[in-house]
Structure 1
């Protein structure tokens, strides 16, 4: 029989009994705040790198690195562009212009619905793509119509497009073929889950759509292909920022209500919608101002308001950085900012300034435009489909369908990788993919401090804080029966250590069966969780800040588990006896990773209601896991069943 170290026994007897309070941390700190500090450090490194860009050659090399990184992280675009197969479903004649309701292919059987505003008279005309913000009605929303009207009444064509998940392009329909969710950002988050697993991003689809919108514009004989602009507000400002950074055909751009700095964003409202977070961009050194810098010295104006939730101070900081780079290239006048009064949106004066900017650089006309009220028309006039949704067509492919097709391709490549690699090589692939060092759980300095005891009728609960290196402390509960007859069991639950700790709960049942149970608050859970969570997305802000730093919460939580497993080994009553691990729900994904990386530490891995694989989740319109338990690009190398191969035959049991 193995006994507890004498020092631990003395410590257990010296701690005063407490009430039935299972909190361990005196001053709990959300894991989000830890990530904030690391983000600031990465942004400081970027600032220093930017100062070194003194020559045009330095700047060109920087632009190239940024673009290559950007393209790599959003996922590879199609090798070939499919035919547009454009159709016009309605023409509306107006005084001085006409509106065409058009549909064209972004990819085969994946269509874009749009409104083309064309001036009357002799062309060819400059053309401006108008990307929609997060409005359910998208291209027909009043502010998007006003963008188009400002352009067309000043001699330029405008193409208002529906992004995925909005307008006539909802990606998740109910049985009546209406959008299932009222919130448009909801769809973007949900399609983001599958996109992340296959190494894409919601932005991947929006950027490609923007590029295809330009393809459509330049396919029209009425449009001058050398005079293309782009603008949009909020989510449309995001799309504009991305496309203008990557697409050389955008000669003039005006992103609105979006560009700030990540420092200001992280300090205030935090990461935003799915497409507004590119994997690893903060750690790499790609900030909002880089969307301007990547296109320097092409003309770009930012539109902002002084009471927006996107911090206006960050917008001016972004301009200052971009202005320096544009200046070093000899064109400081090619980048600017217009600030208006008001909340999130485009006030009339800002809109007039955007129109003026487009005329200056696309038409060589620098006459100022007055701020005017523009009247929008009924949304139903501007619909392109009879049903109101392209996805009502049985041949239409949703983003989930497109991701599932890629997942099928990745399965073939993954199968070959596993057939040609050793078990140790694949274990290294898993470690690298989730960011777990070979030292994790083995060589780091660590310790566990007992901070309280709770006595229950048949067992004792010891409250610990486990620490190692510079990592934030992990709260742990050790449930110890009066008589130990089974191996120590690590218990992982998506809601943390207290989720099943109530009298009569699942943990108590394990303890009464003779097991010492060690329950953990993994990073971002329990005492280290943020207060604000959603039922559908979980703690998505913590996930996305980790994602922006190039990490996965699965990886961080796997490290937590390995370190606590090392700590928990002290409670084993048999020398050399391995721990068991029980993962509930999505937390079972962490259990699988820990056991796959260090199978020698674990005897049995038991999973309760844990997803069988990631691949099937990719094709689900409403994914059955949250963002917390995704890993960027993981299906390029392995899926959950592959982890069972690394753990060993017969060691994984799925509980009913």
Structure 2
């Protein structure tokens, strides 16, 4: 039906009289309204898939009945969780050092440094009681505070624990406090002058959520993300705690707020040493994030977790029946309280099935998001109950004094990365990739290309062309120009997102079929006298398409871009939600490319399908290359412009621009972009104007 439609259109358009270019409107899709205008069509389609995944998980949860069922569920999810973050490395020496000591009223503090990776240090403060040891040890991962462990709320939580007979270790996460991984060459004024976030050091450039996600961008091609490194920091911090002679290694707790609640949830699920846990202002069901604020920053999204059936509640279920307190704020606008209660009910039923209903509980403060005083007191009482076997009430001193950032400083310079010999985690990733590069070279030197192609297909998840249904086609208008016509088309593949397209039809066809994909949108190079017209004037039929999150399908006015300083592009939420569903934007777009190319290839019913010239510019180029590599017979030539040269550059570069959209989880375990050129056919691939991974989008300049 598509062939007949286009043949009819071709004949009809050849007799339509030209209209003035000044009146041209190259927009194809109707204006969006309501929820679609807010979230965008691509996000809505992914959101629908997420809801289907939620329903499937709920069905699985309801079928868990016995303690044996619970244990099997826990093992399956723990194994999945470890695999998806890339597993953990071998433990190496901590090489701990005590840098300084402070004295408080009823407690003392040691500023300490230890290595979570060789040459990569953690800066931390150990709060100790003044009573005789041994003490339980409580790990306190930080939330998204700019100054990390020095944040007043986290200091007060640690002081409260120490004054009640428990040691507390609070450490800087990567990208916070003294552990920023992206520093400017010169003192940076970006955050000064009354800005909302004041950096802990003049060389700091970005807020911590941006840094966390930049590090995920570096890690995803290696098959991990920032969560792996954040969890490992926590586990190594427990290693340090239990190495101290004052600490009872059998009485370990963990509590943290917001991003620290995320890490508390992760650590308590995966590290069996955590006997008592109290995640604060994080526990909600994923549906409430997806439907309201969208996915959070890099470490808070685990590859494929929604598709597999792992929700935020499962971090509590995985550790049952160990004691867990859910701490929440009624007015939390990020982690919705309704979702928190839904999570708690799931946990309570799960613990009951295991025979220990009393070991999970909830407290709710009439407060906004944050480690507010009632939640600090509640978590301290929970640790007091389960680690000291005491039930005495615990109250915090009003306006408890805290130390300055400088007093709690562990590094020489205020940023550990500036100290001699320190290695960034980007350097760690680069080293990991160098090892994988040797393995890739051996694979590609010894493997038949057809076998290699299937390995690429398996890692990327891109479906074979024969598995992609033919799209629906809808006419949306016409434009006439001298010697050719433009047909506006809406191409709707089976995923349901309409792809706007412009079909350029010359009066006399004597050239090639060209699929034209511009990262800035199909309208670029579509004006009279521009690049597409030059092709059409020589007799080429050109189909210019906006694949998902390009042009009319891009959420250009994403209101939450600010937290990432534009480093992640306008479609972060779409990329993150696809990632949670076990897919990449590269995969989604490559399948759009294949559907559009096949449509163009066989549009004339009286002729045999013929190969298409594929031209991709900028943001579309990586997906286009994947399409050409996996279905080389569909394309006669492949012209790629403004494409990055290698994911290796993404891995080792701290400050990438809009590269999340180009990543494929775990790709570097099997292939890099030059390998795809080999699969597509080096003789027909032309790459021009290679792009830097630090190049800004045109809209950012």
Tell me, yes or no, if structure 1 residue 543 matches structure 2 residue 567: no
Aligned residue for 2:196? none
**Among 603, 620, 628, the residue aligned to 1:587:** 620
- Given the superposition, is the C-alpha separation of residues 6 and 144 from structure 1 closer, same or farther in structure 2, using an over 3 Å criterion? closer
Q: Distance in 1 between the 2:366 and 2:533 partners?
A: 59
Please give the secondary structure, in 2, of the residue aligned with 1:36.
helix
Q: Distance in 2 between the 1:347 and 1:526 partners?
A: 43
The structural deviation recorded for 1:483 is 4.2
The structural deviation recorded for 1:76 is 2.1
Whether the 8 Å contact between 1:133 and 1:237 is mirrored in structure 2 is yes
Please give the secondary structure, in 2, of the residue aligned with 1:84.
coil
Aligned residue for 1:253? 277
Please give the secondary structure, in 1, of the residue aligned with 2:322.
coil
Please give the secondary structure, in 2, of the residue aligned with 1:486.
coil
Normalising by structure 2, we get a TM-score of 0.89
- Given the superposition, is the C-alpha separation of residues 5 and 105 from structure 1 closer, same or farther in structure 2, using an over 3 Å criterion? closer
Please give the secondary structure, in 2, of the residue aligned with 1:650.
helix
Q: Distance in 1 between the 2:182 and 2:420 partners?
A: 13
Tell me, yes or no, if structure 1 residue 23 matches structure 2 residue 27: yes
Aligned residue for 1:389? 415
Normalising by structure 1, we get a TM-score of 0.95
Q: Which runs of structure 2 are paired with 1:291-306 in the superposition (5 Å)?
A: 291-306=315-330
Q: Distance in 2 between the 1:5 and 1:587 partners?
A: 25
Aligned residue for 2:47? 36
- Given the superposition, is the C-alpha separation of residues 182 and 554 from structure 1 closer, same or farther in structure 2, using an over 3 Å criterion? closer
Tell me, yes or no, if structure 1 residue 454 matches structure 2 residue 479: yes
Please give the secondary structure, in 1, of the residue aligned with 2:211.
helix
- Given the superposition, is the C-alpha separation of residues 349 and 650 from structure 1 closer, same or farther in structure 2, using an over 3 Å criterion? same
**Among 85, 93, 104, the residue aligned to 2:103:** 93
- Given the superposition, is the C-alpha separation of residues 6 and 577 from structure 1 closer, same or farther in structure 2, using an over 3 Å criterion? closer
Tell me, yes or no, if structure 1 residue 209 matches structure 2 residue 233: yes
Aligned residue for 1:48? 59
Q: Distance in 1 between the 2:4 and 2:374 partners?
A: 77
Aligned residue for 1:137? 147
Q: Distance in 1 between the 2:556 and 2:360 partners?
A: 40
**Among 128, 135, 138, the residue aligned to 1:125:** 135
Count of residues in Structure 1 that have an aligned counterpart in Structure 2: 653
The CA deviation string for residues 594-648 of structure 1, in whole angstroms up to 9 with x for no partner, is 1111111111111111111111221111125521110000001111100111111
Q: Is 282-291 or 642-651 further displaced after alignment? A: 642-651
Aligned residue for 2:503? 478
- Given the superposition, is the C-alpha separation of residues 98 and 434 from structure 1 closer, same or farther in structure 2, using an over 3 Å criterion? same
- Given the superposition, is the C-alpha separation of residues 235 and 442 from structure 1 closer, same or farther in structure 2, using an over 3 Å criterion? closer
Whether the 8 Å contact between 1:235 and 1:258 is mirrored in structure 2 is yes
Whether the 8 Å contact between 1:11 and 1:450 is mirrored in structure 2 is no
Tell me, yes or no, if structure 1 residue 411 matches structure 2 residue 437: yes
Q: Which runs of structure 2 are paired with 1:573-584 in the superposition (5 Å)?
A: 577-584=610-617
Whether the 8 Å contact between 2:471 and 2:494 is mirrored in structure 1 is yes
Aligned residue for 2:591? 559
The structural deviation recorded for 1:73 is 0.4
Tell me, yes or no, if structure 1 residue 323 matches structure 2 residue 386: no
Q: Which runs of structure 2 are paired with 1:412-431 in the superposition (5 Å)?
A: 412-431=438-457
Aligned residue for 1:163? 173
Q: Distance in 2 between the 1:204 and 1:331 partners?
A: 30
Aligned residue for 1:368? 393
Q: Distance in 1 between the 2:614 and 2:308 partners?
A: 35
Aligned residue for 1:148? 158
Q: Distance in 2 between the 1:306 and 1:5 partners?
A: 57
Whether the 8 Å contact between 1:447 and 1:567 is mirrored in structure 2 is no
Aligned residue for 1:282? 306
- Given the superposition, is the C-alpha separation of residues 254 and 504 from structure 1 closer, same or farther in structure 2, using an over 3 Å criterion? farther
Contiguous gaps of at least 5 residues in structure 1:
none
The structural deviation recorded for 1:422 is 1.6
Aligned residue for 2:198? none
The structural deviation recorded for 1:284 is 0.2
Q: Distance in 2 between the 1:525 and 1:585 partners?
A: 11
Aligned residue for 1:402? 428
Contiguous gaps of at least 5 residues in structure 2:
188-201, 690-701
Tell me, yes or no, if structure 1 residue 198 matches structure 2 residue 231: no
The structural deviation recorded for 1:481 is 3.5
Q: Which runs of structure 2 are paired with 1:109-120 in the superposition (5 Å)?
A: 109-120=119-130
Aligned residue for 2:672? 639
Whether the 8 Å contact between 2:136 and 2:167 is mirrored in structure 1 is yes
Q: Distance in 1 between the 2:31 and 2:583 partners?
A: 25
Q: Distance in 2 between the 1:238 and 1:158 partners?
A: 18
Please give the secondary structure, in 2, of the residue aligned with 1:316.
helix
- Given the superposition, is the C-alpha separation of residues 132 and 3 from structure 1 closer, same or farther in structure 2, using an over 3 Å criterion? closer
Q: Distance in 2 between the 1:532 and 1:338 partners?
A: 37
Aligned residue for 1:616? 649
**Among 508, 532, 552, the residue aligned to 2:557:** 532
Q: Is 224-233 or 624-633 further displaced after alignment? A: 624-633
